Every structure is written in structure tokens, then in C-alpha cells.
Amino acid sequence: PSHASGTLGRRDDQQAAQHQNKSAARRPTSIERAAGRGLPESIMLATALRKVRGTPAVAAIATRALSSHARDTNTYIQQALAELKLPERFEKMLVTPRRELCVQLTILNDRDEVQTFEAYRVQHDNARGPYKGGIRYHAECDLDDVRSLASLMTWKTAVMDIPFGGAKGGVTVDPSTLSEMEKERLTRKLVHSFRGVVGPHTDIPAPDMNTGAKEMAWFFDEYSKYMGFSPGVVTGKPIDLHGSLGREAATGRGVFFALRNLLEADGAGGVEGKSFVVQGFGNVGSWAARLIAENGGKVVGVSDVDGALHNPGGLDVEALAEHIQSGSSSVDFKENGTVVVPGQEIFEMECDMFIPAALGAVIDAEIAGKMQCKYIVEAANGPTRPEGDEILNNRGIKILPDIYANGGGVTVSYMEWVQNMQEFKWSEAEVNQKLEDKMTSAFEQIWDIHQKKGVTMRTAAFMLAIEKVLASRQLRGFC
């Protein structure tokens, strides 16, 4: 006991000294760092308030001050229900998740220290088939975010007419602070905690923000240790480990099909000659930008975590993608006519079409009033707040909503799952053609409701999805 007491005492002294050193050389605050990256005030506030949530007195204030992603999604559902003139009793049933799981994941890090992380899995609705939704690793991930994204997955799978329901998962962690081995331990511990509620016929996870094929390979391997060979338990796996050809580019390719369908249906012609701005140059944004450029479109602006680039004559998208993939910063990209601008200016660049492909809740009322585009295609999940949505609609800016626009990822995930269950593999051309057919069919249904009912495309998409989910619930006796 005396030895243990002495050890603890020395640790306390060390921690106090470390704290003094940190205080002496003050680092920028969360708001200062966010402002430096040009992020909207809503995100800056969220970043700062989450740092103080551990204090009970402040937690209540923080919760009230922060925008609720789940509340935003429910607002859009209420708008669609009002148009459908359905009884109010359906609202609670449609917005309430069937199951919410919160667990603590404890791992031993590379320094032989114990670390604990919060993890969530929300299963929103399975009336149309097994739950389906990604798993994200992000420092700002919380239950409200996951709840909102699970709901969006329910409506997305319904709009895309694939036999899945909606779910989402997440771990509150900054993955950049973890080594490769620590991420693997964390992923396998996640499987250990969730293995009783996921499965090929129950709930099929997939990659999301800061997760990818590698994490899905670990997930598949760990689950198979408990339940036997089960490649269909997750999608987004490596090609050489039962993944699907075409999956990596699927969401970005789906965004391209979506925006092309919109331009043609609205009488604006095709992609060729149009100008585009892409906010977020990760997997989805970069693939969408590549396909736009390949088809004659001009990408005049892009942004990522490092900053924003602007070139009125059009960026060399392929060269920029190669530059970033080499490990270089986007703001170090050198090209004639390309200039680095503050991140916030990405929202004010003049263009035909703006594509938000990063975080949610970035287009609030303030941003919506400054945007200089004719169309918005939501490649990200929940990028537009309801108050921003209203302003954009009043300004005549047409918005193609996320539950359709970024549906390419879950559509090809479904194709991967089908191939796994059949133990059969399709060619990339087959996958891409099936994806195009799905994106076209879903758009035609949304556009038809939009035209006939005189509602926004967002409301039209939610109306289509709600009718499909309600029909399945009623047929199965859930109502």
C-alpha cells in the first residue's frame, strides 16, 4: 500500500507540472482554431461548448445552445407529414428510434495506459429490411449526431428503394491521435460490444467519417471469430476481402449522377460548361469533382481542412487529387490562376452549383444569405439547417437533398451485401450501371412529386420515403 501511495503521489506531481507547463504556453482556444480554418459560427460554438460539457452546471447551457442535428431532421419530417396530411400519431412513430446503444470502449494504448471512449449505435427503423448505416470515428461525435444520421439512413434507403432500414454508429475519438494498432484495438473492442445487435440479417455497418476499408476488414475478422465466416456483416471492405468493385467511388459517382439528372430535368442542359464549387475534398468530394471535370464541367473552387482554393478558369482536379494523396497540403498546390483563400469564402464563390461534401449543419441562415449559386447538391449528411433551407428556397436556389444526392454509397453497399450473400462477384461496369439506374429511378420519383405537388425537392424526397416506410410498417402490422 505504501508503495502504491508513493507512486500515485509522484504521478500527481508530474501531472501538476505538466498542467503548469501547458498553462504557461497557452494554446489557441477551440473558437480561435475554428475561426482560423474559416468555419461557420455554429460549428465554432459547438466545438467550444463540447469542451466544457463535463461541468454539470454548464452542460445544461451547452445542450440548449448547441444546434440539434436530430431536431433539424425531424423538422424536415414534419414538413413532409404536413404535405401528406397524415395523422399526428405517425410523427412520434417515425422519429423515435427502435434502439439506442451507448457503450464504453476501454483499450490499452501503446504506452500501456488505459483509455476509454464512448461509442454509440442507433437503430432507427427496420420495417423495410435489416438496419444499415456507417460507423464514424470523430472527436465531435455524440448521440444526437448519430441519432440524426440513423434517421437519415431510414429515409435514404427508402428513397433509393433498397431493402434496408436505417442505423448509424460512432465513437467519440480523434483518430489522428491513435496509432494503427490502437485503432485496430478500438475497432475490435467495438465489435465485441456490438456483436449481439449486428449481423448480416440484422444490422450491417459500413465506413463513414474517418473509417474505411481497413476498419471494415478488422470488423469482419473480429465478428467472424465469434459468429463464423460472415463477409456480409459489413460493407465497404477491401476488394481482396469480399468488397465490391466500384464501392470506393460510389458516393461521389452517385452525386455526379444526381446533379446531372437535376440539370437536365430543370432544363439547364448537361454538366458541360457549368461551374461548380466543392466544399470538402475527401473521398466523396474528390470523386464528384473528378467526374464533373471528366464530363466537361469546370470546378472553380474546392476546400478541405487546410483551406480553400479558387480558380475562375477551373482547377486541374486530377492534379490536385494526386497532390493531396501524396501527403501534401491542399494550400500548397501550385497552378496558374489558382489562389488560396480563407476557408469561409468557399460559401460565397460564384458558381452554377455548390456541393457541400464535408460536415453537417454548415449552411445556416447567415451562410444561406451569402451564397452565390443556382443549385445546391448535398453530398454531405445534413449540411443545411432548416433556417438556411428556408432562406435558400425563398431566394430560388434549388436544393437536391442528402437523402437522395449521397445515396450512391448505400446503394453500392447493398450491392456488396448481395454479392456476399450470393458468394458471387459483379464487374465494376455492372455495379456502375446498376447505380446509375437506381439514381435515375429515384430522381424521377422525387421530381414528379416536386412538380405535381409544388413542394421543394427536399420535402418531395421525404414524402416519398415516409410513404414507403409507412406502407411497410402497416403491411407488417407495426402500426
How many other C-beta atoms are found inside a 10 Å radius of the C-beta of residue 102? 11
Catalytically annotated residue among 132, 156, 168, 237: 168
Using only C-alpha atoms, the chain has a radius of gyration, in whole angstroms, of 23
At 26, which amino acid appears? R
Q: What are phi and psi of 307, to 5 degrees?
A: 155, -165
As beta bridge partners, residue 105 has 117
For the chain, the three-class secondary structure string (H helix, E strand, C coil) is CHHHHHHHHHHHHHHHHHHHHHHHCCCCCHHHHHHHCCCCHHHHHHHHHHCCCCCHHHHHHHHHHCCCHHHHHHHHHHHHHHHHCCCCHHHHHHHCCCEEEEEEEEEECCCCCEEEEEEEEEEEECCCCCEEEEEEEECCCCHHHHHHHHHHHHHHHHHCCCCCCEEEEEEECCHHHCCHHHHHHHHHHHHHHHCCCCECCCEEEEECCCCCHHHHHHHHHHHHHHHCCCHHHCCCCCHHHCCCCCCCCHHHHHHHHHHHHHHHHCCCCCCCCCEEEEECCCHHHHHHHHHHHHCCCEEEEEEECCEEEECCCCCCHHHHHHHHHCCCCHHHCCCCCCEEECHHHHHHCCCCEEEECCCCCCECHHHHCCCCCCEEECCCCCCECHHHHHHHHHCCCEEECHHHHCCHHHHHHHHHHHHHHHCCCCCHHHHHHHHHHHHHHHHHHHHHHHHHHCCCHHHHHHHHHHHHHHHHHHHHCCC
Query: Is residue 438 annotated as part of the catalytic site, yes or no?
Result: no
Strand 203-207, strand 131-138: pairing: parallel
Strand 203-207, strand 166-172: pairing: unpaired
Report how far residue 380's alpha carbon sits from residue 383's, in angstroms, rounded to the nearest whole number. Answer: 6
| Closest among 298, 339, 293, 337 to 318, alpha carbons compared | 293
Report how far residue 155's alpha carbon sits from residue 161's, in angstroms, rounded to the nearest whole number. Answer: 10
Report how far residue 188's alpha carbon sits from residue 444's, in angstroms, rounded to the nearest whole number. Answer: 42
For the annotated catalytic residues, the residue numbers are 168
